[in-house]
Structure 1
Amino acid sequence: MTAARLEPPAALLRPAGDRARRFATAVGNVLAPIGRGIRRVAGPVLRVITPVGWIVLGLGVLAVVLSVAFGWQEFTFLGMVLLAAVLVSTLFLIGRSSYGVLIELNPRRVVVGDRAMGRMVVTNTGSRKLAPTRMELPVGRGVAEFPLPGMAPKQEQEELFQVPTNRRAVIVAGPAESIRGDQLGLLRRAVKWAEPVELFVHPRTVRLASSAAGLVRDLEGQVSAKITNNDLAFHALRPYVPGDDRRYVHWRTSARIGQLMVRQFQETRRSQIIVVLPTNAAFYASEEEFELAVSCAASIAAQIIRDGTQLDVVSERGAWRTRSVSSMLDSSCRLEYGETEGFGGFREFVRERTRRLPAPSVVVTVGGSRLGPGEIRSVQTLFGADTTHLGIVVEEGEPARLGAVGGMQLLTVGRLEDLPGLFRGLSS
């Protein structure tokens, strides 16, 4: 007689578990649209309740439950008072506003420490008088509050405010919000008006000597050893091959030897400068040192752009916009101290950010006191032998120095005002 085969408990439970998961998935698929619909309808209502309002509402419900459960009249009175306060607060939310809000910043671009003023003009665009309210305007990390009086139709109210510019940044003003709510702060309804406006607080810069601050050294138009089919510096003649441009056929020689010959040229170099500025906090002793490095890099880039030399500036976030001095300085405002973007080291960061850029004739690396000469020199192998490398190390309070490490010029900058003198020393 053969013994019956017993299934292990896990094998018996597996089908039941699969059925339970399928049932749960089906229920979730049915309830998900319902939940989204409830959130869409109830969300605007629930958002008007402030944290204080939720506390008062919760205590009111708890007091009513305790009074029903234990018959305590004191809790009945407390619950009714708290719930009545929430109910009365809803009366302050009734009504619709019709505002036209204009936010202006003058000027839109300033240097660190310069004064920047803003103006907010509020207009009643409706056909009826509006009750007094409060307007909140986010400015950077702060919020400016302006009490608005009752406004007749088409009436304007102008409010002025000052924007702090003590640090390099992109400061966003707006959008403005009109606030309706009770005096206890239980309920609060905010309506946004107007679009946010950006204020660019540029870093401090200094003017450097012309000709790319002595970096280019007449590279523009220099003849290189590379042979090309189309340039200015004639090199030699070679036999014609299909596909060659017939404009470069040397007809006199071709007629003499009985074979088509075309001109070859030596490629002339065009100056292409890359400025590298890391934002990783590991390369700086402090945030103030980083700000000095940003000012140095922006000063160099601004002079190169004024001289009309091709320029790229890269940081961990990516390449800056360098179409004009203004756009370059705008890009510098968006840098944040401590950004790493997941790069394993300084050399990897430079390789990733420059591999799609044109081959440079000069690479300028600007970093803090914790970016050693060895790390700066490690990027030399990423570029050709004809590329000139310049390292700039900022170290607050240190005397200005001009030296050389392994054939690379190395500048030490303690103050922004030291930069012009050091570059004059480079070009001399």
Structure 2
Amino acid sequence: MLTRSGAGMTAAATGLVALGVWADYPELVTLGLAAAGALLLAAAWLVVSPKLTVVREVRPRRVFEGSAAQATLTVTNVGKRDSPPLMVTETVGGDRTTVTVPALTAGHRCTVSYPLPVARRGRYLIPPVELGHSDPLRLLHRGRASGGELVVHVYPRVHLLASITAGGPQDAEGQTTSSAPLGGVAFHSLREYAPGDDWRRIHWGATARTGTVMTRHVVVPDEPRQLIVLDTGSTPYPTTQFFEEAVRVAASFCVAAERSSLPLQLRTTAGVERESSGTALEFLSTVERSDRGLVGLTDLVRDVVSDSQGVALTIVTGRVDAEAAQLLMSLRSRFLSVNLAQLVSADFTLPARPRGVLAVAAPSSEQFATRWNRLVLR
């Protein structure tokens, strides 16, 4: 491929030869042929490519907004010919980053590190790196792809939020279910002994009665589940920036629940759900606005309400009208608590807070975290 210098040399060679022939000026023809000869020599230089092996690593592969992902490229010259300086080009989300690898003698290697432009949340598919080198006069450029594709997830920025856990059983003798995780101290039932069980939990009375070794099945007691619903409708958010702030607040609530070891479920008004902090953050890195808002909230949470386990509901949205406020009040009796997080402009006039609902509004996720923690921890 011609570089800018190569394109200029090509134009000069063509123009000089044509002008020399037309003007019957041999000197101009000679200069044109010399320029053409330089291009031929450049092409001959690039015929033999250096034999290189390339290893690329990107760490970390999952970062939060504001953090940096670093790429490390190790290039080894495994051929017998010296390698000229190389230009390495990375394309990430439409942005191109170019770094230089110095000339390598046969058998030598070089490692270069460079940041990747992954500032915005999202899922970035990074194509193979492009290795390119030129002739000494920089007239021609030859590149080739090397390595495989990589994926980098940029999670939404999170803020430290206090968790509200009041209202649900958290003591050692709280309610239990058969699906509860093992490792607790709450007795759930008796079951047949399995290799690896703690022999101190063998129930000798039941063993004598049944003739089978029985052991106590102990689990972690049920704790209030955290249901976080992110409103992905377009109407509540006047600009994309407010939606981005809402995504950050939803991510912060997910991390707060995980940090408190509380069961977590994230849902969106578009009908998507995730049940752990890791998968929730991965989903939130790519979530987009949709046409479905809080109108269908009742159907969205219908299957979550349980008589045996309390649920704390948190709604993350933008502007809430009177109809949505009435809907939240109608759901209040079905949950341990209902929290409303609103991302609205500072000059927006908030409607009356729904009765029984803990509501906090702010124009940014950072200000929301400050107001939320001040209210919850006071």
Shorter-chain TM range is: 0.5 to 0.7
| Equivalent residue number for residue 86 of structure 2 | 134
Please say if 1:275 is aligned against 2:222: no
Match of 2:57 in 1: 104
Give the RMSD, CA atoms, in angstroms.
Answer: 5.0
- Following superposition, the deviation at residue 134 of structure 1 comes to 0.8
AA in 2 matched with 1:311: Q
Residue 136 of structure 1 deviates from its aligned partner by 0.9
Q: CA deviation at 1:196?
A: 4.0
Partners in 2 of 1:383 and 1:57 — Cα distance?
A: 75
Aligned to 1:194: 147
Confirm or deny: 8 A CA contact 1:296 1:419 kept in the other structure: no
Task: For residues 27-54 of structure 1, give each alpha carbon's deviation from its aligned partner in whole angstroms, at most 9, with x where no partner exists.
Answer: xxxxxxxxxxxxxxxxxxxxx4568867
2:106 alignment partner, one of 152, 159, 162: 152
- Aligned pairs (5 A) from 1:233-252: none
8 A Cα contact 2:50 2:79, kept in partner: no
Match of 1:309 among 263, 275, 283: 263
Deviation of 1:412 after TM superposition, in Å, equals 0.7
Identity of aligned residues (%): 19
Unaligned runs of 5+ in 1: 1-47, 223-231, 233-267
- Is residue 330 of structure 1 aligned with residue 330 of structure 2? no
* Alignment partner of 1:392 is 2:341: yes
Once the two structures are superposed, the pairs formed by residues 323-402 of structure 1 within 5 Å of their partners are 323=276, 325-335=277-287, 339-340=288-289, 343-344=290-291, 346-347=293-294, 358-359=303-304, 363-368=313-318, 371-374=319-322, 376-377=324-325, 386=334, 390-395=339-344
CA distance in structure 2 between the partners assigned to 1:183 and 1:378 by the alignment: 74
Amino acid of the structure 2 residue aligned with 1:346: G
Give distance in 1, aligned partners of 2:55 and 2:323.
50
| Maintained 8 Å contact 2:230/2:267 | yes
- Aligned pair count reads 315
Mapping of 1:113-132 within 5 angstroms? Answer: 113-114=66-67, 117-124=70-77, 126-132=78-84
Supply the distance in 2 between the matched residues of 1:190 and 1:116 (Cα, whole angstroms): 25
Give the direction of change, closer, same or farther, for the CA distance of 1:279–1:397 in structure 2 (3 Å limit): same
Change (3 A) 1:95 1:395: same
Give the one of 387, 410, 415 matched to 2:359. Answer: 410
**1:299 alignment counterpart:** 252
Q: Which has the larger radius of gyration?
A: 1
Deviation at 1:61, TM superposition (A): 6.8
Alignment partner, residue 319 of structure 1: 272
**Partners of 1:83 and 1:167 in 2: how far apart?**
47
Letter in 2 for 1:191: R
Greater fraction of residues in helix: 1
The change in CA–CA distance for 1:319 and 1:218 in structure 2 (over 3 A counts) is: same
Provide TM-score, normalisation by structure 1.
Answer: 0.55
Gaps of 5+ in 2: 177-187, 189-221, 306-310
Offset from partner CA, 1:170-219 (integer Å, 9 cap, x none)? 56666322212346765432112223444444433234444xx3487569
Q: Deviations over 1:123-167 (max 9, x none)?
A: 22x3413321313141632413123212322x2211122446755
Name the amino acid aligned to 1:194: G
Q: What TM-score does the superposition give when structure 2 sets the normalisation length?
A: 0.61
